[in-house]
Amino acid sequence: MKPLRTILLLSLLPFHLPAQEAAQTQPPAETAKPEAQKAEEATTAAPTPASPQEMIQRLFDPQATEQDLLENIKKAGMAGIPRQSIIEAKLVWGLRNQNIPWLTKVIPELEVVAQNFDRNQSAGFKSADEIRSFIAYAKALEAQSKGDQAVFKTQILEALWLSPSQAPLYLQAIEKQKIQEKMANVKVDMDLVITTHDGQATTFKDVLGDKKALLVDFWASWCAPCIQLMPEVKKKAEMLSKHGIVVAGMNKDDKDAQVIAAKMKDNMGIEFPWLIEPAERPFTTQLELETIPRMVLIAPTGQVLFNGYPDDPALWVALKKVDASIQAP
């Protein structure tokens, strides 16, 4: 079973300045100045503005928040960064964050870029078709969020046709769509007997109690991404408990699961329900958990509200439907 990793469609895009422009950004050689003059200039000099290369790096910073990006867009415009590169930065930010409203909003700008694509003005895209491919992908995500299967299929196939190199990203969206369609008819058995890390018998119904929903994190000791995400799972558990949502971990190790789970609980300081999936793997089968880490949000009735990767923004959309006051971090 291979762990599912978030696909970052584009890492920080390289930006290559034309030779002449690059030369213009180099500071002129210093001439000798009196020490007194140097001291005076040091106290009165204004902050050095960012170079075009630095400005591009800020635009495509993977850690940038929406506010960071908007501020950098303003500065980039004043710094003379090509408009095409700025729009490309908007696209990359929306794709990295899977922000569907943002992507939908930027589509008209992207269509203009595709019509007038200039490779020399691009921050890393190779062709107009590559831009058109991401436009189709954005339309597919919008359709997916609205439950419009027909439009989703049309647009995701168009995206694949225009840019086969992005197939891993697009196939992930297709897999997600198929899971959503199947989960619509799935109802988890909330009364199925399972065990805790210390061998106590329980059920999802018992773990949930009178709360609003149960968020189960499926993990295994051999899954490195699962272990890396444990601190985030702990944060989710603390935050969501205030909104009536119970977070529980469920171990999927084939051997010594109880020992492994107990040790992990102690090492990580886990304070929320810590469960073991039965050897028959009923949840793995029913929920089609072919890859982990995986989180599944379950209603008290057993209805599956979300089934996907822990970092998928769609998880927060599902959580917000359970409690409108929940805000994604």
For residue 40, the model assigns a pLDDT of 56
Does residue 241 form part of some domain? Answer: yes
Residues 209 and 311 in one domain: yes
How many domains in the chain?
A: 2
Looking at the structure, tell me whether residues 281 and 309 fall in a common domain: yes
pLDDT > 70 in the chain, percent = 85
Task: Give the model's pLDDT for residue 38.
Answer: 53
Question: Is the domain of 112 the same as that of 200?
Answer: no
Burial readout 57-87 (b: 16 or more C-beta within 10 A, e: otherwise): bbbbeeebeeeebeebbeebeebebbebbbb
Domain boundary among 127, 160, 181: 181
The domain containing residue 216 runs over which residues?
A: 194-322
The partner residues of 276 in beta bridges, in order of sequence, read 195, 251
Task: Tell whether 114 and 164 lie within a shared domain.
Answer: yes
**Domain final residue, candidates 127, 152, 181:** 181
Instruction: Using alpha carbons only, give the angle 228, 232, 234 rounded to the nearest 5 degrees.
Output: 110
Q: Name the stretches of the chain with pLDDT < 50.
A: 1-30
Q: Where among 130, 149, 181 does a domain terminate?
A: 181
User: Does 253 lie in the same domain as 218?
Assistant: yes
* pLDDT attached to residue 10: 44
- pTM for the whole thing? 0.64
